[in-house]
């Protein structure tokens, strides 16, 4: 008979839950992790859903945090199969009239980006040189912050602390502190004069899935999403799911008990304390010390605990936690005979080898209108996308000589359309995108596409339990980030229910493959249960 | 910090169930082991994907596991304690006939007897006698025929003769070696439909009813007719479980690491070349993939004797593969034939269309000629009947399989890309025609087709879509599988072993090729056998 009693039981097998599990096991905690799906890794998800041999990263694709991620180094994930490629041309935008493309190169290739920007504007190139240099200096400080739980505070006694480091950070970059209170778009427009360059930044900024780019008070996100992030993107050899494979192996090596196809139906409370869970097939798993939830906030408290077990405060804050509209995505996947060959490649062939390719927009205005649509619950009229063709860099992701294109559309929340309407989007939108694509890359004709697939926000919600199709398990707007994630009274991973902890993307610092929520939650568990602090490392401060 | 800084005692090529089982045993024996897999997922045929919609789990290949409890691997590797979970359907299979009648095969043979008796009392009684007789020697047959290196057919026949088979057994005989499944059934049974039900069971196991000589192992097949089990949460869960066993004992599984060459030094396999470089195998390399890739692609010709290459070039593959339709359903189907036999609604595996042995002859003749039948004859399985977690609440996942040619007579294998969808629709129509609630409940949400060409592209060792990795034919079984020279799991290249479905007994979730290869390795390397020896 299967063992059923553990020190800690973790709900959900996404990358944060795996992180927390691996560290717990290394600290000699007897830990069991239960995944509802048949596959591990949550959004570290790679599927052959167009044609045999074509791998598509339907969810996570960008691996910008790996080289700072403690889990990656502490458990030798590369040695367990998580190998990366670091493309030189990181992000680029092409144009339908063959204008020169705008391309951002790796963080260690500032001059190449400057050369590219200088085709349009010497001033913009100069700005990039100054700011990107600063961004590289700033990165280590930022990571210390991400991989440390938010500071302790007493909400009852002291009220909500006001913490806004953004003005200071702008100062560090040599920019006016006032810019911290601007929107991302304001910052882009103030610093860069070229419309084509602005268009790329707008799209890159929404790719990070932060707040709407015209939302004031979010200037800090500009520094992160536009200046730091493009330049650090790694891709996983074999597809994002390989990172999961390495994480699972790490967990198994440490002795974690892992059970897939084991969807948790409720958290068992005794005298107000979380003491275990029950799965849909009626099995009970006892937790001697803690139940840790790596799934969504509402899933945890409304579905598994039950609102009747919550305080009024928790009930309100959970109910009003927002999913979307900021990071709701549809994923397009296409099996291609040839990689896209852009008109703009005549001016600079690197655009054909840019890892992340922005397609469908000829002006910054068009990107803005596109992003606005999702926020007013509409499907964008102009079917543009950000795509990546991983097989250009990693031929193992497609049959010999052929290519796997995957990309993101910004869509409205799952509940904005009926199931029938989403079906219609599934049927027609890729076709519209392709018709537009051909104007930018003439070889992107229907005959170049072997098969295609569109994963809608509704699919996202159903498959990954990401409500509304929100990739980050909760909007990343200022009201739901930092100490406010998921809300002040749950910002340090412990909850009002004794023995129940959160370690998923609904906690600080949020969505994305950072593994920080899982790591930080482990630190808190060490504090609360006196587990050995095996996260400490001489090679880093966090 | 590279992936392959270390060297391994053993390298297994291919993370199918046989390769992973072998790796599990070796790892538990204290060896360092790495399993290298070309695809993005481990498991080979243990492949479960959400092919239609999120939360609908479709088993692309392996769906029926009929050796749970019989294969020693489940206990030896403690698969249950490591998380695999099976459902054992009480109504195992059934047939729906055009006149609205139906047969059901149950775990409870009394019930099966009652179902058969509605068609022929005599056959029902014969069936019970057969069942009881096979039960008497099932264990022995499984051990000697499956979980041991292949015995020459002549030796088998001699053993049967010296045992006095003709006097002691009603159903075994030395003559089985020259009989087809159909001839065996004709000899013992009178009713066409009962014969069709039993032949269907054999055909689903890739034993074509009219191939001479296949009756020889029919008793083993029939003895498993009540042991068809369903891996809950999708067949891929068995792959996860095997991986857990391997890693727990210190081994590693590396998907997306295609082996490009088996490196030979001084006539001995010393490792493999992968895109990252060379990985050394201190003791051995075991290949679980097909022999064509192993000898023709992965080994340099200078390391393979001409005779071996000649044998490998002559290995034959199944002339009938499968065409699959994976369906996302709005609920469980109910059948018109339930008026005749209500249990048909709960039959896990359904025959829709084979009503006599002649139907099988026509079907396989048609398939062998590269054509598609006008009206498809189906093998249907709705796993959600016994594992509701494989679909969203209230919904169901369905699978239709039909025998099909890999290459179509007009257009070859490539023509499937054009014709697959339309043929899928015809299969769905056929299924709908026997359902009672198809339209009322708008059962079909969406379906995806998987053609023989798709199969051969996705699983490249299923050459020509052959999921048994080698023809099921007397010329390619036992001591002939895959060739006489390679049948005993060793190869002419020292240190290179074969442990996949190309070997005796054949494909399917038996684990027997891996287990038998383990026995040979244990002998060659003096391994201490901690496992239950059978």
Nearest chain A residue to B392 by CA: give it: A462
- CA geometry: angle B118, B124, B129, nearest 5 deg: 165
Q: What is the average per-residue pLDDT within B258-269?
A: 97
Given B54, B275, B454, which is nearest A462 (Cβ)? B54
Predicted local distance difference test score (pLDDT) of residue B156: 87
Q: Is residue A521 part of a domain?
A: yes
State how far the alpha carbon of B213 is from the alpha carbons of A254, B182, B192, B303, B472, in Å. Answer: 51, 10, 21, 36, 10
Asked if residue A509 has a cis previous peptide bond (ω within 30° of 0), the answer is yes
**CB within 8 Å: A261 and B256:** no
Q: What is the pLDDT of residues B392-431, one digit of tens each?
A: 999 999 999 999 999 999 999 999 999 999 999 999 999 9
Q: Give A247-304 as a DSSP string.
A: HHHHHHHHT-EEESS--EEEEEEETTEEEEEEETTS-EEEEEEEEEE-S-HHIIIIII
CB-CB contact of B96 with B352 (8 Å): yes
Question: Is the predicted pLDDT of residue B384 greater than 80, yes or no?
Answer: yes
What integer best gives the mean pLDDT of chain A? 95
**CB within 8 Å: A78 and B2:** yes
Nearest chain A residue to B34 by CA: give it: A80
DSSP reduced 3-state for A102:
strand
C-alpha B132: how far from chain center: 25
Q: What is the pLDDT of residues A433-445, one digit of tens each?
A: 999 999 999 999 9
Predicted local distance difference test score (pLDDT) of residue B219: 85
Q: Is residue A168 part of a domain?
A: no
Question: Is the predicted pLDDT of residue B5 greater than 80, yes or no?
Answer: no
Given B5, B257, B389, which is nearest A261 (Cβ)? B389
Q: Is residue A294 part of a domain?
A: yes
Token digits of residue A33: 């992790």
Distance from CA of B20 to the nearest CA of A (A): 15
CB-CB contact of A81 with B15 (8 Å): no
- CA geometry: angle A474, A480, A483, nearest 5 deg: 130
Q: What is the pLDDT of residues B448-464, one digit of tens each?
A: 999 999 999 999 999 99
Cβ of B164 under 8 Å from any chain A Cβ? no
Predicted local distance difference test score (pLDDT) of residue B309: 97
What integer best gives the mean pLDDT of chain B? 95
CB-CB contact of A22 with A31 (8 Å): no
The DSSP letter of residue A509 is T
Asked if residue A325 has a cis previous peptide bond (ω within 30° of 0), the answer is yes
Question: Is the predicted pLDDT of residue A523 greater than 90, yes or no?
Answer: yes
Distance from CA of B259 to the nearest CA of A (A): 12
The whole-angstrom separation of Cα B321 and Cα B368 is 10
Write the burial class of residue A524 (CB in 10 Å: 0-12 exposed, 13-18 middle, 19+ buried).
Answer: buried
Residues of B in Cβ contact (< 8 Å) with A76: 1
How many independent structural domains does chain A possess?
1
Cβ of B20 under 8 Å from any chain A Cβ? no
Question: Is the predicted pLDDT of residue B2 greater than 90, yes or no?
Answer: no
Predicted local distance difference test score (pLDDT) of residue A1: 52
Q: With the CA atoms of A57, A61, A63 and A65 taken in that order, what torsion angle do they form, in degrees rounded to the nearest 10?
A: -120
Asked if residue B393 has a cis previous peptide bond (ω within 30° of 0), the answer is no
Residue of B437, B469, B474 whose CA lies nearest to B455: B469
Asked if residue A486 has a cis previous peptide bond (ω within 30° of 0), the answer is yes
**CB within 8 Å: A238 and B255:** yes
Q: What is the average per-residue pLDDT within B14-39?
A: 97
Residue A343: CB atoms within 10 A of its CB come to: 18
Distance from CA of A93 to the nearest CA of B (A): 30
The whole-angstrom separation of Cα B463 and Cα B294 is 13
Residues of A in Cβ contact (< 8 Å) with B276: 83
**CB within 8 Å: B237 and A38:** yes
Predicted local distance difference test score (pLDDT) of residue B245: 98
Residue of B312, B298, B278 whose CA lies nearest to B476: B312
**CB within 8 Å: B54 and A46:** no
Q: What is the average per-residue pLDDT within B230-257?
A: 96
C-alpha A457: how far from chain center: 15
Mutate to test the interface with B, among A4, A25, A39, A391 (most CBs of B within 10 A): A39
Q: Is residue A140 part of a domain?
A: no
Question: Is the predicted pLDDT of residue B35 greater than 60, yes or no?
Answer: yes
**CB within 8 Å: B80 and A2:** yes
**CATH fit for domain B8-49+63-82+233-315+470-525, picks 1.10.4080.10, 3.50.50.60, 1.10.760.10, 3.40.50.300:** 3.50.50.60
**CB within 8 Å: A238 and B256:** yes
Given B49, B54, B244, which is nearest A459 (Cβ)? B54
The whole-angstrom separation of Cα A332 and Cα A387 is 8
Phi first, then psi: give them for residue A221, nearest 5 degrees: -65, -30
Question: Is the predicted pLDDT of residue A450 greater than 50, yes or no?
Answer: yes
B3: confidence class by pLDDT, cuts 50, 70, 90: low
Name A288's Cβ contacts closer than 8 Å, sequence gap at least 6.
A5, A6, A7, A30
C-alpha A266: how far from chain center: 27
The whole-angstrom separation of Cα A245 and Cα B246 is 14
Predicted local distance difference test score (pLDDT) of residue A374: 84
Residue of A453, A458, A434 whose CA lies nearest to A332: A453
Q: Is residue A378 part of a domain?
A: no
Q: What is the average per-residue pLDDT within A503-519?
A: 96
Tell me which residue range forms the domain holding A31. Answer: 5-47+64-82+237-322+473-529
The whole-angstrom separation of Cα A229 and Cα A513 is 13
B1: confidence class by pLDDT, cuts 50, 70, 90: very low
Q: What is the average per-residue pLDDT within B200-204?
A: 96
**Count of CB pairs separated by less than 8 Å, A with B:** 107
Mutate to test the interface with B, among A1, A18, A35, A38 (most CBs of B within 10 A): A38
Question: Is the predicted pLDDT of residue B31 greater than 80, yes or no?
Answer: yes
Q: What is the pLDDT of residues A191-247, one digit of tens each?
A: 999 999 999 999 999 877 678 899 999 999 999 999 999 999 999 999 999 999 999
C-alpha count within 13 angstroms, C-beta hemisphere, residue B183: 13
Residue A252: CB atoms within 10 A of its CB come to: 22
Question: Is the predicted pLDDT of residue B308 greater than 90, yes or no?
Answer: yes
CB-CB contact of A515 with A25 (8 Å): no
**N- to C-terminal Cα distance for chain A?**
41
Q: In chain B, where are the structural domains located? A: 8-49+63-82+233-315+470-525
A499: confidence class by pLDDT, cuts 50, 70, 90: very high
Token digits of residue A28: 């000699």
Predicted local distance difference test score (pLDDT) of residue B476: 94
Phi first, then psi: give them for residue A336, nearest 5 degrees: -115, 150
CATH number at residue A513: 3.50.50.60
Q: Is residue A453 part of a domain?
A: no
The whole-angstrom separation of Cα B278 and Cα B61 is 32
CB-CB contact of B14 with B288 (8 Å): yes
Predicted local distance difference test score (pLDDT) of residue B475: 93
The DSSP letter of residue A311 is -
Predicted local distance difference test score (pLDDT) of residue A512: 92
**CB within 8 Å: B247 and A263:** no
Given B81, B85, B458, which is nearest A53 (Cβ)? B458
Phi first, then psi: give them for residue A15, nearest 5 degrees: -65, -30
Which of A163-166's residues contact partners 24+ apart within 8 Å by CB, and which partners? A163/A482, A163/A483, A164/A220, A165/A220, A166/A219, A166/A220, A166/A223
**CB within 8 Å: B233 and A261:** yes
Residues of B in Cβ contact (< 8 Å) with A80: 3, 252
């Amino acid at each position: 008979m299967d063992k059923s009693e553990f020190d800690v039981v973790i709900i959900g097998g996404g990358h944060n839950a795996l992180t927390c599990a691996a560290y717990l096991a290394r600290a000699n905690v007897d830990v069991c992790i239960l995944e509802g799906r048949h596959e591990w890794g949550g959004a570290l998800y790679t599927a052959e859903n167009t044609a045999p041999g074509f791998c598509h990263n339907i969810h996570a694709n960008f691996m910008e945090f790996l080289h700072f991620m403690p889990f990656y180094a502490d458990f030798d994930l590369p040695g367990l199969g998580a190998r990366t490629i670091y493309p030189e041309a990181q992000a680029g935008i092409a144009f339908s009239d063959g204008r020169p493309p705008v391309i951002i190169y790796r963080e260690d290739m500032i001059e190449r980006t400057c050369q590219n920007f200088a085709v349009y504007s010497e001033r913009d190139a100069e700005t990039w040189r100054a700011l990107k240099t600063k961004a590289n200096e700033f990165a280590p400080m930022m990571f210390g912050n991400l991989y440390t739980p938010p500071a302790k505070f007493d909400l009852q006694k002291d009220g909500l602390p006001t913490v806004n480091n953004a003005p200071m950070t702008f100062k560090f970059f040599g920019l006016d502190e006032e810019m911290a209170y601007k929107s991302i778009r304001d910052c882009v427009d103030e610093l860069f004069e070229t419309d084509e360059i602005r268009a790329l930044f707008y799209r890159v900024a929404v790719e990070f899935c932060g707040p709407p780019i015209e939302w004031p008070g979010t200037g800090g996100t500009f520094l992160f999403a536009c200046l730091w992030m493009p330049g650090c993107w790694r891709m996983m050899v074999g597809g994002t799911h390989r990172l999961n494979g390495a994480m699972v192996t790490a967990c198994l090596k440490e002795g974690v008990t892992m059970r897939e196809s084991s969807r948790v139906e409720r958290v068992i409370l005794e005298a107000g304390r979380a003491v275990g869970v029950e799965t849909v097939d009626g099995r009970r798993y006892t937790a001697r010390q803690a139940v840790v939830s790596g799934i969504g906030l509402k899933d945890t408290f409304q579905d598994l605990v039950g609102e009747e077990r919550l305080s009024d405060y928790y009930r309100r804050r959970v109910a009003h936690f927002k999913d979307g509209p900021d990071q709701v995505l549809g994923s397009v996947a296409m099996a291609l005979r040839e990689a896209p060959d852009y008109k703009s490649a005549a001016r600079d062939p690197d655009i054909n080898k840019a890892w992340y390719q922005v397609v469908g927009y000829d002006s910054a205005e068009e990107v803005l209108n596109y992003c606005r649509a999702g926020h007013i619950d509409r499907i964008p009229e102009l079917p543009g996308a950000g795509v990546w063709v991983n097989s250009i860099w990693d031929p193992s992701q497609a049959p010999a000589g052929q290519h796997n294109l995957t990309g993101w559309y910004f869509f409205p929340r799952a509940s904005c359309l009926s199931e029938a309407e989403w079906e219609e989007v599934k049927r027609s939108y890729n076709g519209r995108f392709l018709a537009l694509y051909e104007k930018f890359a003439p070889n992107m004709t229907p005959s170049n596409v072997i098969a295609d697939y569109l994963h809608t926000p509704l699919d996202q919600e159903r498959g990954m339990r990401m409500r509304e199709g929100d990739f980050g398990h909760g909007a990343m707007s200022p009201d739901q980030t930092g100490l406010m994630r998921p809300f002040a009274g749950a910002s340090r991973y412990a909850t009002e229910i004794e023995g129940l902890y959160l370690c998923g993307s609904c906690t600080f610092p949020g969505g994305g493959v950072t593994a920080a929520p899982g790591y930080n939650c482990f630190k808190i568990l060490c504090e609360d249960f006196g587990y050995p602090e095996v996260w400490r490392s001489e090679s880093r401060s966090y | 910090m590279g992936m392959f800084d270390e060297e391994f005692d053993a390298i297994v090529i291919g993370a199918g169930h046989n390769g992973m089982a072998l790796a599990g045993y070796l790892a538990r024996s204290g060896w360092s082991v790495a399993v290298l897999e070309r695809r993005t997922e481990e498991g080979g045929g243990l492949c479960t994907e959400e092919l239609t919609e999120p939360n609908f789990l479709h088993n692309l290949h392996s769906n029926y596991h009929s050796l749970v409890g019989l294969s020693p691997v489940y206990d030896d590797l403690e698969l249950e304690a490591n998380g695999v979970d099976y459902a054992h359907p009480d109504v195992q299979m059934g047939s729906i006939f055009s006149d609205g009648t139906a047969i059901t095969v149950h775990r409870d043979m009394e019930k099966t007897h009652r179902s058969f008796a509605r068609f022929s009392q005599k056959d029902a009684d014969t069936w019970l006698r057969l069942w009881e007789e096979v039960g008497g020697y099932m264990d022995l047959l499984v051990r000697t025929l499956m979980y041991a290196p292949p015995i020459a057919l002549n030796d088998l026949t001699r053993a049967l003769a010296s045992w006095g088979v003709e006097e002691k057994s009603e159903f075994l005989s030395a003559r089985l070696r020259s009989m087809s499944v159909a001839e065996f059934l004709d000899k013992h049974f009178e009713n066409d439909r009962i014969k069709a039900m039993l032949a269907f069971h054999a055909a689903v196991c890739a034993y074509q009813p009219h191939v001479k000589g296949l009756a020889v192992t029919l008793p083993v097949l029939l003895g498993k007719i009540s042991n068809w089990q369903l891996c809950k949460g999708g067949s891929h869960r068995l792959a996860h479980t095997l991986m857990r066993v391997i890693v727990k004992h210190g081994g590693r599984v590396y998907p997306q690491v295609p082996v490009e060459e088996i490196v030979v030094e001084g006539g001995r396999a010393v490792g493999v070349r992968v895109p990252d470089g060379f990985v050394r195998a201190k003791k051995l390399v075991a290949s679980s993939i097909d022999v064509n890739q192993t000898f023709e692609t992965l080994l340099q010709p200078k390391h393979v004797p001409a005779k071996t290459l000649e044998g490998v070039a002559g290995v034959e593959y199944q002339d009938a593969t499968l065409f699959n339709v994976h369906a996302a359903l709005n609920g469980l189907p109910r059948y018109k034939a339930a008026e005749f036999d209500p249990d048909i609604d709960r039959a896990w595996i359904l025959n829709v269309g084979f009503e006599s042995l002649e139907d099988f002859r026509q079907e396989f003749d048609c398939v062998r000629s590269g054509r598609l039948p006008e009206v498809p004859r189906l093998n249907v399985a709705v796993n959600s009947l016994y594992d509701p977690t494989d679909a969203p609440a209230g919904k169901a996942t369905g699978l239709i399989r039909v025998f099909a040619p890999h290459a179509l007579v007009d257009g070859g294998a490539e023509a499937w890309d054009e014709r697959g969808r339309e043929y899928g629709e015809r299969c769905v129509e056929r299924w709908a025609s026997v359902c009672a609630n198809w339209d009322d409940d708008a059962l079909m949400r969406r379906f995806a087709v998987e053609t023989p060409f798709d199969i051969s592209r996705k699983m490249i060792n299923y050459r020509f879509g052959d999921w048994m990795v080698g023809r099921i034919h007397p010329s390619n079984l036992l001591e002939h599988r895959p060739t006489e020279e390679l049948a005993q799991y060793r190869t002419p290249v020292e240190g290179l072993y074969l442990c996949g479905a190309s070997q005796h007994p054949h494909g399917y979730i038996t684990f027997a090729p891996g287990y038998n290869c383990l026995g040979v390795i244990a002998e060659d390397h003096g391994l201490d056998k901690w496992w239950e020896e059978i």
